[in-house]
Structure 1
Amino acid sequence: MLPQLDELLFSSVEGLLVESVEVTDTVVRIEARTTAGQMACRGCG
């Protein structure tokens, strides 16, 4: 993982766990998930 990229992009997001970051010449792929329990969708109710 690239900790600098993780901190740069997501330092202000609480409850987020970045599991992996892959960087190529043209793509940045980030796998992340919430650390909070399940919540209802705000749009669905």
Structure 2
Amino acid sequence: NRLDISDGIFMLNFLFGNGPPPYSPYGECDVDADNTLDCIRSYACEQ
């Protein structure tokens, strides 16, 4: 078994290293079409 940390490194590069932004659906707020999420609202979408 191997640990894949590439997503974490990609995100840290975006946040602190002036790297490219994450791929979609990042940055897009919408309604959960298939109702699989437990959360009622996202504070990030209220900005």
In terms of fraction of residues, the more helix-rich structure is 2
TM-score, with structure 1 as normaliser: 0.21
- Higher RCO, 1 or 2 (CA under 8 Å, sep at least 6)? 1
In terms of fraction of residues, the more strand-rich structure is 1
TM-score, with structure 2 as normaliser: 0.21
Task: Tell me which structure has the larger Cα radius of gyration.
Answer: 2
